[in-house]
């Protein structure tokens, strides 16, 4: 579980509960959401195995599309 706060030029991000895999993906997701929303983002996920690049991009695109709408 990662929390990110974006009220200034760059987000502040911290890990609340360390994940076994995809910690970079969670951090990036939290930072992008908090920056886009100009607020706080709490991100948690259950990913059983490492994501490949194409899957990570697809998930990130889908999340950002949901936030825009």
Model confidence over 5-62: pLDDT tens digits? Answer: 999 889 999 999 988 877 899 999 999 999 999 999 999 998 888 889 999 999 999 9
Tell me the two tokens of residue 17.
């509960």
Q: Which helix (H) or strand (E) holds 34?
A: helix 23-37
| Sole residue written with tokens 């996920």 | 45
Q: Which two tokens stand for residue 53?
A: 């690049």
pTM for this model (two decimals): 0.85
Q: Which two tokens stand for residue 67?
A: 């936030």
Q: What's the pLDDT score for residue 34?
A: 96
Examine the pLDDT at 69 and tell me if it is beyond 80: no
Cα(25)–Cα(29) distance, integer angstroms: 6
E strands within the chain? 2-5, 12-15, 40-43
pLDDT of residue 65: 96
């Amino acid at each position: 579980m990662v929390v990110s706060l974006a009220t200034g030029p760059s987000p502040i991000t911290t890990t609340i509960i360390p994940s076994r895999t995809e910690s970079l993906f969670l951090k990036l997701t939290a930072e992008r959401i908090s920056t886009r929303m100009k607020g706080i983002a709490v991100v948690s996920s259950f990913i059983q195995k490492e994501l490949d690049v194409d899957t990570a991009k697809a998930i990130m695109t889908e999340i950002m599309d949901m936030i825009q709408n």
